[in-house]
Amino acid sequence: MIDIKLIRENRELVKENIKKKFQEEKLPLVDEVYELDIKYRECKTKTDNLKSEKNKLSASIGELMRDKKIDEANKIKEQVAEMSKEIPELEKEEEKLEEQVKKIMMVIPNIIADDVPIGKDDTENVELEKFGEPIVPSYEIPYHADICNLYDGLDKEAAGRTSGEGFYFLKGDIARLHSAMLAYARDFMISKGFTYCVPPFMIRSDVVTGVMSFKEMEAMMYKIEGEDLYLIGTSEHSMMGRFIGQMIKEEDLPLTLTSYSPCFRKEGGSHGLEERGLYRVHQFEKQEMVVLCKMEDGMDWYNKMWNYTVEFFRSLDVPVRTLECCSGDLADLKVKSCDVEAWSPRQQKYFEVGSCSILGDAQTRRLGIRYKSSEGTKYLCSLNNTVVATPRGLIAVLENNYNEDGTVNIPKVLQPYMGGMEKIKRS
């Protein structure tokens, strides 16, 4: 959520930003909220002045009574009584206008960074850099579900019976490799100085609306029937909610946190092969990184964070590339974002395994997360990034470490988490 001062001082900039995101339907909202804000401030000023006047008059009554000016005191009592009736009505109108302003402000997108490429959707994202050689071996790489089945490591049929489409059982060495990646990701981030956390896996609605747009919420979140609780789509949600309404000590900044959680999302499988596999599922596990810092330090942390994900995947012998997300592919709260994509030797193309975002004060303003500086109270800058989400990460490791003889090399960094095992072999 942007600062209402920006609407007051530079409506054209806000409108231009909306155009860059190809959301022209939201353009009328800028003028609408501008007018509502004027009415709100006028109403608030009138209410505050009336309260102040009432307090002054009330204070004078006692003095008049002591001076035996009974008639004058009674007249003032009548004035105060009228004010007492009017003030609640004004407060009600003030509250109504404030809520209308907030409702509109929640759907006006954040101001994107100047260097974000302009484009309508993810097809216009821009490749930044490749890391590692994207090798296509001379032998065929099987589909990842088939690789898992070579070692009796995947059972989607049983998951269909227990939970429906979009779920899975992982078994044996495949399940162990999946867990090894998450354990390694945890330790990898701890080695970077991040504090490890395991957050709640359900959050209340005030946290949900604080961390994402309504459009995202409807598309992603599972609601618990009959309760004000949602299953998280990523641990970033809980981690940001942890600080709702808090004043962070300046000396504690930046807060650098890495969190593990299962993640739950409504998105279903695609047609064809993906229905057999693990590309799009309702449930997965993820190691996340979340940073809260001063606004002026935000871009430095952004660049550190996406580099950590690149370093992580390269240590798993997986070639990756980074993509700059274009304006139309940015969620409304984001200032700038880049995706990390892993190479698929089977498909001979890259696929997304992580996303790094800087959100400025969009989330912290919604959630009321601030710190006191020498210049006064300020909102913090929030950032989040995927270390690894698996089974997506598992797919990348399996394909890029698959051998012609049907074995899979276990990357050296994962071997300690696999009991020293160097390869996964058929039983």
CA-angle at 111, arms to 106 and 115, nearest 5°:
155
> What is the residue-averaged pLDDT of the chain?
93
Percent of all residues in the chain with a pLDDT value above 90, rounded to a whole number: 84
pLDDT of residue 123: 94
Q: Could you report the per-residue pLDDT of 193-209, keeping only the tens digit for each? A: 999 999 999 999 999 99
* Residue 81 main-chain phi, psi, to 5 deg: -65, -40
Task: Decide which of 271 and 363 is more confident.
Answer: 363
Distance CA 20, CA 18 (A): 5
Burial 68-97 (b: 16+ CB within 10 A, else e): eeeeebeebeeebeebeeeeeebeebbeeb
CA–CA distance, 393 with 409 (Å, rounded to integer): 15
- Banded model confidence at residue 90, pLDDT cuts 50, 70, 90: very high
Alpha-carbon span 111 to 386, nearest angstrom: 23
Cα 58 to Cα 55: distance, rounded to the nearest angstrom:
5
Q: Which residues contact 56 (CB under 8 A, 6 or more apart)?
A: none
Peptide bond into 254 cis (omega under 30): yes
Q: Which residues in 294-345 belong to E strands, given as ranges? A: 320-324, 336-344
Nearest to 411 by CA among 304, 280, 348, 319: 319
For domain 122-424, the CATH superfamily is Bira Bifunctional Protein; Domain 2 (3.30.930.10)
Q: Find the largest Cα–Cα distance for the chain.
A: 107
pLDDT, one tens digit per residue, over 213-231 is 777 888 889 999 999 999 9
List pLDDT tens digits, range 306-326: 999 999 999 999 999 999 999
Q: Amino acid identity of 157?
A: E
Share above pLDDT 70 across residues of the chain, in percent, rounded to a whole number: 98
Q: Can you tell me the mean pLDDT for 11-24?
A: 97
| pLDDT in the model for residue 269 | 43
> Which residue ranges does the chain devote to CATH 3.30.930.10?
122-424
What is the rounded CA–CA span in Å between residue 145 and residue 155?
A: 9
Place of tokens 């501008």: 34
What pLDDT is recorded for position 320? Answer: 98
Ranges of beta strands (E only) in 78-203 are: 126-131, 154-155, 169-170, 195-197, 202-203
Span of 111-120, 169-178, 353-362, 418-427 with lowest mean pLDDT: 418-427
* 113-128 pLDDT tens trace: 999 999 999 999 999 9
Q: What is the pLDDT of residues 356-413, one digit of tens each?
A: 999 999 999 999 999 999 889 999 999 999 999 999 999 999 999 999 999 999 999 9
pLDDT in tens, 224-252: 999 999 999 999 999 999 999 999 999 99
pLDDT the model gives residue 272: 40
Domain with CATH 1.10.287.40 in the chain: 4-105
Domain 4-105, architecture per CATH: Orthogonal Bundle (1.10)
Q: Count CA within 13 A, CB hemisphere, residue 88.
A: 4
Contact 134, 46 (CB under 8 A): no
- The residue written with tokens 């596990």 in the block is 285
User: Burial of 330 by CB count in 10 Å (0-12 exposed, 13-18 middle, 19+ buried)?
Assistant: buried
pLDDT for residue 268 = 47
